[in-house]
Amino acid sequence: MIKWVERGVLLAAILSMLFVWPYGGIREDKKDSSLSEDYGYTEPLQVGEYASQYFVAETDFLKTLEIAVNYNQEEERNGLLGLEIWKEDQKIYEGVIPYDAMESTTFFPAAIETRLKRGAVYEYRIVNQSISENLPQVVYTTTEKAHVLENQQLVVHEATVDGQALNRYTWREKLDAVSVLEIDSFIAIVAAMIYAVLEQWKRKEKKNNEVG
Protein backbone atom coordinates (compact mmCIF):
# COMPACT_ATOMS: atom_id res chain seq x y z
CA MET A 1 0.00 0.00 0.00
CA ILE A 2 2.75 2.45 1.01
CA LYS A 3 4.61 1.57 -2.18
CA TRP A 4 1.66 2.80 -4.27
CA VAL A 5 1.39 5.97 -2.19
CA GLU A 6 5.08 6.68 -2.83
CA ARG A 7 4.54 6.25 -6.56
CA GLY A 8 1.55 8.58 -6.34
CA VAL A 9 3.65 11.23 -4.58
CA LEU A 10 6.35 10.95 -7.25
CA LEU A 11 3.80 11.19 -10.06
CA ALA A 12 2.09 14.19 -8.44
CA ALA A 13 5.44 15.96 -8.08
CA ILE A 14 6.34 15.35 -11.73
CA LEU A 15 2.93 16.50 -12.98
CA SER A 16 3.11 19.62 -10.77
CA MET A 17 6.49 20.53 -12.23
CA LEU A 18 5.23 20.00 -15.78
CA PHE A 19 2.19 22.17 -14.95
CA VAL A 20 4.54 25.01 -13.98
CA TRP A 21 6.79 24.47 -17.02
CA PRO A 22 6.47 23.96 -19.95
CA TYR A 23 2.65 24.15 -19.70
CA GLY A 24 2.75 27.53 -17.94
CA GLY A 25 -0.18 26.88 -15.61
CA ILE A 26 1.16 29.39 -13.07
CA ARG A 27 1.58 32.88 -14.47
CA GLU A 28 2.07 36.46 -13.36
CA ASP A 29 0.29 39.60 -14.50
CA LYS A 30 1.95 42.08 -16.82
CA LYS A 31 0.21 45.44 -17.35
CA ASP A 32 0.79 47.76 -20.30
CA SER A 33 -1.08 51.05 -20.21
CA SER A 34 -1.52 54.20 -22.25
CA LEU A 35 -0.87 57.43 -20.39
CA SER A 36 -4.01 59.40 -19.56
CA GLU A 37 -2.65 62.59 -21.10
CA ASP A 38 -2.35 64.11 -24.56
CA TYR A 39 -5.60 62.63 -25.77
CA GLY A 40 -8.46 63.42 -28.12
CA TYR A 41 -11.88 62.03 -29.06
CA THR A 42 -13.10 60.33 -32.21
CA GLU A 43 -16.29 61.28 -34.00
CA PRO A 44 -19.37 59.89 -32.17
CA LEU A 45 -20.26 56.28 -32.94
CA GLN A 46 -23.78 55.86 -34.30
CA VAL A 47 -25.76 52.68 -33.61
CA GLY A 48 -24.05 49.80 -35.40
CA GLU A 49 -20.78 51.67 -35.92
CA TYR A 50 -17.50 50.67 -34.32
CA ALA A 51 -13.92 51.78 -33.77
CA SER A 52 -11.14 49.29 -34.54
CA GLN A 53 -7.87 49.28 -32.62
CA TYR A 54 -5.25 46.90 -34.02
CA PHE A 55 -2.69 45.48 -31.60
CA VAL A 56 0.07 42.90 -31.28
CA ALA A 57 -0.33 40.18 -28.64
CA GLU A 58 2.39 40.66 -26.03
CA THR A 59 1.92 37.14 -24.58
CA ASP A 60 -0.34 34.19 -25.35
CA PHE A 61 -3.05 35.08 -22.82
CA LEU A 62 -5.01 38.34 -22.46
CA LYS A 63 -6.58 38.63 -19.01
CA THR A 64 -8.29 42.04 -19.18
CA LEU A 65 -8.64 44.94 -21.58
CA GLU A 66 -9.51 48.40 -20.27
CA ILE A 67 -11.01 50.92 -22.67
CA ALA A 68 -12.22 54.52 -22.40
CA VAL A 69 -14.96 56.58 -24.05
CA ASN A 70 -16.13 60.17 -23.79
CA TYR A 71 -19.70 61.50 -23.56
CA ASN A 72 -21.72 64.46 -22.31
CA GLN A 73 -21.68 64.00 -18.54
CA GLU A 74 -24.76 66.21 -18.12
CA GLU A 75 -26.97 63.88 -20.14
CA GLU A 76 -28.36 60.44 -19.32
CA ARG A 77 -26.83 57.31 -20.80
CA ASN A 78 -28.62 54.16 -21.86
CA GLY A 79 -27.86 51.19 -24.05
CA LEU A 80 -24.95 48.84 -24.57
CA LEU A 81 -21.45 48.99 -25.95
CA GLY A 82 -19.99 45.85 -27.47
CA LEU A 83 -16.36 44.81 -27.14
CA GLU A 84 -15.08 42.29 -29.68
CA ILE A 85 -11.68 40.81 -30.53
CA TRP A 86 -11.01 39.63 -34.06
CA LYS A 87 -8.21 37.70 -35.76
CA GLU A 88 -8.63 38.63 -39.42
CA ASP A 89 -12.23 37.55 -40.21
CA GLN A 90 -12.71 35.37 -37.11
CA LYS A 91 -14.32 36.72 -33.94
CA ILE A 92 -12.62 35.15 -30.92
CA TYR A 93 -14.17 37.21 -28.10
CA GLU A 94 -17.42 39.10 -27.61
CA GLY A 95 -18.73 40.95 -24.57
CA VAL A 96 -21.12 43.77 -23.70
CA ILE A 97 -20.71 46.80 -21.43
CA PRO A 98 -23.64 48.79 -19.99
CA TYR A 99 -23.08 52.35 -21.17
CA ASP A 100 -24.14 53.84 -17.84
CA ALA A 101 -21.45 51.78 -16.05
CA MET A 102 -18.66 53.70 -17.78
CA GLU A 103 -17.19 56.94 -16.49
CA SER A 104 -16.14 59.52 -19.05
CA THR A 105 -12.47 59.32 -20.20
CA THR A 106 -11.79 56.70 -17.52
CA PHE A 107 -10.47 53.17 -17.96
CA PHE A 108 -13.23 50.56 -17.83
CA PRO A 109 -12.02 46.96 -17.32
CA ALA A 110 -13.44 44.09 -19.34
CA ALA A 111 -12.52 40.52 -18.40
CA ILE A 112 -11.23 38.85 -21.57
CA GLU A 113 -9.57 35.63 -20.30
CA THR A 114 -8.73 34.52 -23.83
CA ARG A 115 -5.73 32.77 -25.34
CA LEU A 116 -4.02 34.54 -28.23
CA LYS A 117 -0.98 33.83 -30.36
CA ARG A 118 1.99 35.75 -29.09
CA GLY A 119 3.29 38.24 -31.66
CA ALA A 120 0.19 37.99 -33.88
CA VAL A 121 -1.86 41.03 -34.90
CA TYR A 122 -5.43 41.29 -33.59
CA GLU A 123 -8.20 43.85 -33.76
CA TYR A 124 -10.52 44.86 -30.97
CA ARG A 125 -13.72 46.69 -31.76
CA ILE A 126 -15.71 49.08 -29.59
CA VAL A 127 -19.21 48.73 -31.01
CA ASN A 128 -22.23 50.96 -30.44
CA GLN A 129 -24.86 48.25 -30.09
CA SER A 130 -27.89 50.23 -28.95
CA ILE A 131 -26.96 53.77 -27.88
CA SER A 132 -29.10 56.30 -29.74
CA GLU A 133 -28.53 59.41 -27.58
CA ASN A 134 -25.46 60.96 -25.94
CA LEU A 135 -23.32 58.98 -28.36
CA PRO A 136 -19.93 57.59 -27.28
CA GLN A 137 -16.62 58.87 -28.57
CA VAL A 138 -13.53 56.69 -28.28
CA VAL A 139 -10.70 58.35 -26.36
CA TYR A 140 -7.32 58.14 -28.10
CA THR A 141 -3.77 59.21 -27.30
CA THR A 142 -2.06 61.68 -29.61
CA THR A 143 1.65 61.50 -28.71
CA GLU A 144 4.28 58.76 -28.77
CA LYS A 145 4.96 59.02 -25.04
CA ALA A 146 1.27 58.38 -24.27
CA HIS A 147 0.91 55.41 -26.62
CA VAL A 148 1.06 51.81 -25.43
CA LEU A 149 3.59 49.51 -27.11
CA GLU A 150 1.11 46.90 -28.38
CA ASN A 151 -1.14 49.32 -30.26
CA GLN A 152 -0.98 49.88 -33.99
CA GLN A 153 -3.48 51.86 -36.08
CA LEU A 154 -6.88 53.06 -34.86
CA VAL A 155 -9.60 53.05 -37.53
CA VAL A 156 -12.97 54.82 -37.22
CA HIS A 157 -15.50 55.28 -40.02
CA GLU A 158 -13.02 53.49 -42.32
CA ALA A 159 -10.44 56.23 -41.75
CA THR A 160 -7.17 55.87 -39.82
CA VAL A 161 -7.02 58.17 -36.80
CA ASP A 162 -3.82 60.06 -36.03
CA GLY A 163 -3.47 58.40 -32.66
CA GLN A 164 -4.12 55.19 -30.72
CA ALA A 165 -6.98 54.18 -28.45
CA LEU A 166 -6.50 54.96 -24.77
CA ASN A 167 -6.36 51.53 -23.18
CA ARG A 168 -4.68 49.18 -20.73
CA TYR A 169 -3.80 45.53 -21.31
CA THR A 170 -3.29 42.96 -18.57
CA TRP A 171 -1.43 39.96 -19.90
CA ARG A 172 -0.79 36.63 -18.19
CA GLU A 173 2.90 35.93 -18.61
CA LYS A 174 4.72 32.66 -18.07
CA LEU A 175 7.16 32.66 -15.15
CA ASP A 176 10.83 33.29 -15.80
CA ALA A 177 13.46 30.58 -15.31
CA VAL A 178 14.36 31.67 -11.77
CA SER A 179 10.72 31.57 -10.60
CA VAL A 180 10.18 28.17 -12.23
CA LEU A 181 13.30 26.82 -10.50
CA GLU A 182 12.13 28.15 -7.12
CA ILE A 183 8.69 26.54 -7.45
CA ASP A 184 10.10 23.25 -8.74
CA SER A 185 12.58 23.18 -5.85
CA PHE A 186 9.75 23.69 -3.37
CA ILE A 187 7.73 20.88 -4.99
CA ALA A 188 10.78 18.58 -4.87
CA ILE A 189 11.44 19.36 -1.19
CA VAL A 190 7.82 18.70 -0.20
CA ALA A 191 7.77 15.45 -2.19
CA ALA A 192 11.06 14.35 -0.60
CA MET A 193 9.72 15.07 2.90
CA ILE A 194 6.56 13.06 2.25
CA TYR A 195 8.63 10.26 0.74
CA ALA A 196 10.93 10.22 3.80
CA VAL A 197 7.95 9.98 6.16
CA LEU A 198 6.50 7.11 4.13
CA GLU A 199 9.85 5.29 4.12
CA GLN A 200 10.10 5.68 7.89
CA TRP A 201 6.57 4.39 8.27
CA LYS A 202 7.38 1.45 5.98
CA ARG A 203 10.46 0.50 8.03
CA LYS A 204 8.46 0.75 11.23
CA GLU A 205 5.75 -1.54 9.85
CA LYS A 206 8.37 -4.02 8.65
CA LYS A 207 10.00 -4.03 12.08
CA ASN A 208 6.66 -4.58 13.82
CA ASN A 209 5.87 -7.48 11.49
CA GLU A 210 9.26 -9.07 12.21
CA VAL A 211 8.69 -8.75 15.97
CA GLY A 212 5.20 -10.19 15.60
CATH code assigned at 35: 2.60.120.820
pLDDT tops 80 at residue 51:
yes
Residue 179 reports pLDDT greater than 60: no
Residue 170's CB: how many other CB atoms inside 10 A? 19
What value does the mean pLDDT take over residues 187-196? 76
Indicate if 182 and 170 belong to the same structural domain.
no
CB 135 within 8 A of CB 48: no
By the 8 A CB rule, do 57 and 169 touch?
Answer: no
Residue 11 sits in the same domain as residue 91: no
Domain identity same for 191 and 129: no
Q: Same structural domain for residues 88 and 7?
A: no
Same domain, 79 and 158: yes
For the CA atoms of 108, 110, 115, 116, the dihedral, rounded to the nearest 10 degrees, stands at: -40
Residue from 173, 153, 175, 39 nearest 107 by CA: 39
Residues 140 and 111 in one domain: yes
DSSP 8-state code for residue 46:
P
Q: Please check whether residues 31 and 73 belong to one and the same domain.
A: yes
Same domain, 100 and 39: yes
Which of the four pLDDT bands, split at 50, 70 and 90, describes residue 36? Answer: confident
Instruction: Mark whether 128 and 201 lie in a shared domain.
Output: no
pTM exceeds 0.95? no
114 and 46, same structural domain? Answer: yes
Domain containing residue 162: 27-174
Tell me what the mean pLDDT of segment 105-112 comes to.
96
Q: Are 145 and 168 contained in the same domain? A: yes
What is the tally of structural domains in the chain?
Answer: 2
Domain identity same for 117 and 33 = yes
